[in-house]
Amino acid sequence: MHEGASLTFHSTPVLVSLGLALALAGCCGTVRERNAIAPTGVRTRVPAWAELVREDPDPEVVTDAALLDRIQQTGLAWWVKDKATQIEMLLIPPGTYRRGASIGDDRAGADEKPAHDVTLTEPVYVGRTEVTNRQYRDHFEHDHDSKDYEGFSLNADDQPVVSVSWNDARSFCDRNGFVLPTEGQWEYAARGGTTTRYPWGDAPDAGRGWANVQNPSVKQRFGWTGESVSWEDGHTVTAPVASFRPNGFGLCDVIGNVWEWCSDAYDPREYERHASGVTDPEGPASGSARVLRGGSWFYGPSYCRSSRRGNYDSTGSTAFIGFRVARAP
């Protein structure tokens, strides 16, 4: 098995006439709990469903002054924990960013073009890490088995859950009051203020310490062909979540570890339709292929770019695909 061989990305989505996207829109449009009152002494607002971890952004993590300002302008706490599941979440503020192929990116696919402005009008909390096996088992499917890959376990409590379809991820979210991030939210969150190909810049080889991707010894062990990064990241398969440094919003593992399901149906021509800009995009109204973002432990640098768009059938699951959750304040 080599890179890309076992995860075939659809070039065209199969359309189905389900009310799925409508249901999604309904979830995303839930009335915000604007009246939640923060405890005395806390300056920022904490959602009713959450408890406070840290009010203000860590200046060593959120280093971009504009992002810091946007976060503080919301009046919402930066880092919270969902009371029911203990899933940690970080505030992603409203804003406008450039989505799609980074300038000069010769690895960018046609579906990443043209780059265009995306405006997000509402703040959203996004999981600080990918959902773990423990969280998935404790709050959805108690006997879920993420299995192993050629003898290397994917099933430890603190590894990201895999062997979950988009439908499974949606069901986990429905059960626990979450939604999946939209593709528009995902890339904004993943870029963390950057305009480069990776959160660490344009050169894949500068990413050491940032991500668990296909590294040379793993490639050699499994006899894969195709590209890998030049550095060793210390992980043969999935790494325990938050093993690597956070991005400009404080999110961990947005690049690498596991592909992350987004709520959107996949349309390779989505960006063409939005060439002049778009506000709060949610993707096509229906489609059985759903968007995947961020690359994974199994994939090399082309697949692990911030703008890379993957997709897979909503009923399919692999050892490379997991998800992170989102929730309105």
> Cα angle vertex 182, ends 181, 186, to 5°?
70
- Find all residues with CB under 8 Å of 106, minimum gap 6, and list them: none
Choice between 97 and 152, CB closer to Ca ion: 152
Q: Across the strands, what pairs with 309?
A: 293
Residue 290 is encoded by which pair of tokens?
Answer: 């759903």
CB of 316 to Ca ion, least distance (A): 23
Choice between 26 and 216, CB closer to Ca ion: 216
Q: Taking Cα atoms as reference points, which of 248, 233, 249, 250 lies closest to residue 295? A: 233
CB of 131 to Ca ion, least distance (A): 20
Token look-up 């065209």 returns 12
CB of 227 to Ca ion, least distance (A): 13
Choice between 168 and 233, CB closer to Ca ion: 233
CB of 215 to Ca ion, least distance (A): 4
Q: Taking Cα atoms as reference points, which of 268, 313, 9 lies closest to residue 167? A: 313
Q: Which residues are at the interface with Ca ion (CB under 5 A)?
A: 212, 215, 233, 235, 297
CB of 192 to Ca ion, least distance (A): 21
Choice between 43 and 221, CB closer to Ca ion: 221
Is cis: bond before 114, omega within 30 of 0? yes
SS3 label, residue 260? strand
d(CA 195, CA 198): 8
SS3 label, residue 126? strand
Choice between 102 and 228, CB closer to Ca ion: 228
CB of 242 to Ca ion, least distance (A): 15
Choice between 111 and 233, CB closer to Ca ion: 233
